[in-house]
Structure 1
Amino acid sequence: MTSPQPADRPAARVIAALEGVGVRRSTTGQVILDAVDWTVRSGEHWALLGANGAGKSTVLRLIGALMFPTVGTVEVLGHRLGSVDVRELRAAIGLVSSAQKVPQDATGHTVVLTGATGTVQPLWRTYDRAARERAHELLAELDCKELTDRPYGVCSGGQRARILIARALMPALHRLPRGGAPELLLLDEPFNALDLPSREDLIDALHRLARSRPELATVTVTHHLEELSPAIGHALLLRDGRVQARGPVEEVLTGARMTACFGRPVEVSRHEGRWLARSARS
């Protein structure tokens, strides 16, 4: 029996919802996604998993308001794609990708500031004292305030990832309520090419972020279960553009379901909130 929700805790809000979503490549008719149903609520932290070509990046682009479905509906932060100015909607979504363009000589503080204007280069006349202070606070929250004056180009991969997360959480000027912040954070393979210490630092930072921001919803695309923080409570498995499984991690990240998703025998184990997947030996 489900315990009643405390009276002082608001019900979880729908942050993103896909219903009957399909995506076809316009030039070839190739099916990228087929009949995808999925809902992300406030405070939920999702892992999005699947082999290369499964459709993970397409799903992330849909809920990031970067593309439209061929069929079905996509709602993000209470707005249906196709009936809202997506430029305004994107300002309320934090996106972190290794493909982001960042000036190598910009300091950590400057990179975070550009999140307020959604620009690659800083618009110095736009940032008031409150914005500059908020950028400092976000660097401290991601445990990288020592990178304030360090050029982005000389930072390690893990340090860059944390700077980009701080940037993604920077309130967009004139587009979010004053003092507000993105309610949805999308992480597109944030651990790409990180060494072990950098990976663990980033996992720790994401775990702390989940605890300090109870309303924030996150979606993390990754290829490795070892990269999931203990905060991840839900998982979506994709194969060939179709949903293989979705729901609580305990129900989804099983050997049987991972085997069906990736097409080879996979063993899955969990220790103190951290996951491990490896090829099953006969």
Structure 2
Amino acid sequence: MGDDASRRQAVLELEHVGFRRDGTRILDDVTFTVRAGEHWALLGPNGAGKSTILAMCGAVAHPSSGIVRVMGEQLGRVELQALRRRIGHVNPRHPLTSPRSVREVVLSGLTGSVELPPHWHPTADELALADRLIFALGLEALTGARWPTLSQGERGRALIARALAVDPQLLLLDEPSTGLDVAAREQLLETVDDLERTHPSLASVLVTHHLEELPATTTHALLLSHGRIVASGPVEDVVTSEHVTRAFEHPIRVTRDDGRWAARAVRGPRAA
């Protein structure tokens, strides 16, 4: 991993990052680097600081201390709107309320807006791009389907297509399995896994606190607790029973089968 990884372009760099809100420390001395083609998971209990890190990755929040570079641009020294247009963001709580079609939702990725701007009309090339992404994500039968009629899983795949419309170098996935049943979750994770083949240089950061929601193609992980790093690096070194137990402050046994993880509480003598 060493020499090959060091030659790959750094897409995201956090150096000794701290963040405080209303005098409360949210993050403390967070350092890690995401390189092209790597797929990171941010793991930890609720309140660990995962969402704050993801906001910095998306050039939405600034650190209180330390340095954040996104695609080589340091936050605080770059025009944020231009930078955000180079980042794909998948949020299952996408705030669309109007009955837009799947094609229109995907096209909104090109405008960087929830709703399509008034008087904006896609070019023939942009329409073709949207249709290619819809096909690649297995949504061709739903091209004209309206947002309110889609299942949560169909919405998730549409949002991945929307994020890919800008041909991003960095893809952020904010708890993408939220609200999905088991079948829809597995279909979504298969879609995420396929990005390794269709977009080999794409870097991604996925936030979750459920190990079962980690895609099999996850390469690295950052495990957080109380705003500090418990472990960071290759996923097989980070997602262990010892580290997960420390982060969640509860005895947890971690297993991995066919590239997927699972976590179970260790039963104490009284629970036996």
Q: TM-score, normalised by structure 1?
A: 0.91
Does the CA contact (< 8 Å) of 2:152 and 2:180 recur in 1? yes
1:64-103 superposed matches below 5 A: 64-103=58-97
Matched, 1:23 2:19: yes
CA contact (8 A) 1:168 1:185 kept: yes
State the alpha-carbon separation in 2 of the partners of residues 156 and 209 from structure 1: 22
Give, in angstroms, the shift of residue 3 of structure 1. Answer: 8.5
User: Where does residue 12 of structure 1 map in the other structure?
Assistant: 8
- Matched-pair contact (CA < 8 Å) for 2:92–2:155: no
Moved more, 118-127 or 199-208: 118-127
Matched, 1:159 2:159: no
Q: Which residue of 1 aligns with 2:266?
A: 280
Q: What is the aligned residue count?
A: 267
1:281 Cα deviation after fit? 1.4
Map of 1:61 onto structure 2: 55
Cα distance in 2 for residues equivalent to 1:12 and 1:147: 37
Q: CA deviation at 1:213?
A: 0.9
Q: Which whole-Å CA distance do the structure 1 matches of 2:98 and 2:197 have between them?
A: 31
1:176 corresponds to:
none
Letter in 1 for 2:85: A
Pick from 220, 223, 242 the counterpart of residue 234 of structure 1: 220
Q: Does 1:148 align with 2:134?
A: no
Q: Are the aligned partners of 2:252 and 2:266 in contact in 1 as well (CA < 8 Å)?
A: yes
TM-score, length-normalised on structure 2?
Answer: 0.95
| Corresponding residue of 1:188 | 174
- How far apart, CA to CA, are the structure 2 residues paired with 1:104 and 1:262? 39
- CA-atom RMSD, angstroms? 1.6
Match of 1:257 in 2: 243
1 CA distance for matches of 2:221 and 2:175? 15
CA distance in 2, matches of 1:62, 1:49: 16
Deviation at 1:189?
A: 0.5
Percent identical across equivalent pairs?
45
Match in the other structure for 1:109? 103
Code of the residue aligned with 1:73 in structure 2: it is: I
Question: How far did residue 277 of structure 1 move?
Answer: 0.7
* Structure 1 runs not aligned, ≥5 long: 172-180
Q: Structure 1 stretch 137-146 or stretch 188-197: which is displaced more?
A: 137-146
